[in-house]
Amino acid sequence: MRCHSAVNCDVTGHAGFAKPRPGRYVQATLVNGAAAMILYPAIDLKDGACVRLYKGDMDKATVFGEDPAAQARSFVDAGCEWLHLVDLNGAFAGKPVNAAAVEAILAATNVHAQLGGGIRDMATIEAWLDRGLARVILGTVAVRDPALVKQAAKAFPGKVAVGIDARDGMVAVEGWAETTDITATDLARQFEDAGVAAIIYTDIDRDGAMQGPNVAATAALANAVSIPVIASGGVSSLDDLRALKNSGAALDGAISGRALYDGKIDLAEAVALLKSQ
């Protein structure tokens, strides 16, 4: 099910972002009365290009395309209903850096999109939501300023997710450059009653490594909280998706990047698999 938001902008919104006419978002597809898992194709942005990192290392980036909007259209044409966008430069800079590429993607597609990386204040949150994003992902700020996350979740119901990126179970921040002494589960539980739409859980050591997701840790987190959890990191085959689907946890969905670019996963098949019961 797709959302249809305006793609022609003629008004300037907050923080210098272009502001479109109002759009409409609808709930996730249902299968036989139950929510289906969603496949989120990942578009990671570095210096305006579409890349994938190896275990979060900015110096180990593989460029898959110089036209992120074209890549987004190809995912949409293959049947995706969501896009997962990451401003990698923004994650390190603490502010949006690849805004032009994100805006080009939003203008070129008509599906839901969520964005993380460098979103650390209410002005930026509101600017991106005004621009047409379905959801913003707050990562570093969830550790540094959890009150802001709760404020944003209350102000924008259903539009704020928390990104929890962990290395050996401990949360990492600042573009994964710094590992904290907070466990992923403890951080997630801080937002249990905050109205957060989802938690995107990434096992950093699996990300971009094509070694399969950390199913056990992802399922354990999902079973520890009532917030919907999206699996990320290492999803490299249909078998990986089946393992997540059969993990014993009610996962909202899974993110995949490199495997889609390398052709290890057929997006249409993956979408169908996650929708099936």
pLDDT digits (tens, 9 = 90+) for 191-250: 999 999 999 999 887 665 567 899 999 999 999 999 999 999 899 999 999 999 999 999
**Is 206 within a domain?**
yes
- pLDDT for the residue numbered 210: 64
**Is 144 within a domain?**
yes
Instruction: Band the pLDDT of 174: cuts 50, 70, 90.
Output: confident
**Is 110 within a domain?**
yes
**Is 8 within a domain?**
no
Secondary structure of 58-114 in HEC code, one letter for each residue = EEEEEEEECCHHHHHHHHHHCCCCEEEEEEHHHHHHCCCCCHHHHHHHHHHCCCEEE
Tell me whether residue 63 is exposed, middle or buried, using C-beta atoms within 10 angstroms of its C-beta: 0 to 12, 13 to 18, 19 or more: exposed
Question: CB neighbours of 218 closer than 8 A, spacing ≥ 6?
Answer: 201, 203, 229, 231, 244, 247, 249, 251
Check residues 4 and 255 and name the one with the higher pLDDT.
255
Half-sphere exposure of 95 (CA within 13 A, CB side): 4
**Is 156 within a domain?**
yes
Q: Which long-range contacts (CB under 8 A, 24 or more apart) does 74-78 make?
A: 75/41, 75/43, 75/260, 75/267, 76/109, 76/110, 76/111, 78/267, 78/268, 78/271
Give one word for 166, left, alpha or beta, with left for phi > 0 and alpha for psi -120 to 50.
beta
**Is 17 within a domain?**
no
- pLDDT for the residue numbered 58: 74
- pLDDT for the residue numbered 209: 53
- pLDDT for the residue numbered 214: 92
Q: Of 275, 270, 276, whose CA–CA distance to 257 is shortest?
A: 270
Tell me the pTM: 0.84
pLDDT > 90: percent of the chain = 68
pLDDT digits (tens, 9 = 90+) for 5-41: 322 332 233 333 433 323 323 334 444 433 489 999 9
CA 136 to CA 156: how far, in whole Å? 10
Per the CB < 8 A criterion, the answer to whether 171 and 187 are in contact is yes
Q: Any idea what the CATH number is for the domain that residue 90 is in?
A: 3.20.20.70
State the total domains in the chain. Answer: 1
pLDDT digits (tens, 9 = 90+) for 103-140: 999 999 999 999 999 999 999 999 999 999 999 999 98
- pLDDT for the residue numbered 28: 41
Q: Using DSSP bridges, classify how beta strands 170-173 and 178-183 pair: parallel, antiparallel or unpaired.
A: antiparallel
Provide φ and ψ at 44, rounded to 5°.
-95, 130
| Domain of residue 44, residue span | 30-275
**Is 132 within a domain?**
yes
**Is 185 within a domain?**
yes
Residue 55 predicted with pLDDT over 70: no
**Which positions are annotated as active-site residues?**
44, 165
CA 212 to CA 88: how far, in whole Å? 22
Looking at residue 24, the DSSP 8-state letter turns out to be B
Looking at residue 207, the DSSP 8-state letter turns out to be T
Instruction: Band the pLDDT of 169: cuts 50, 70, 90.
Output: confident
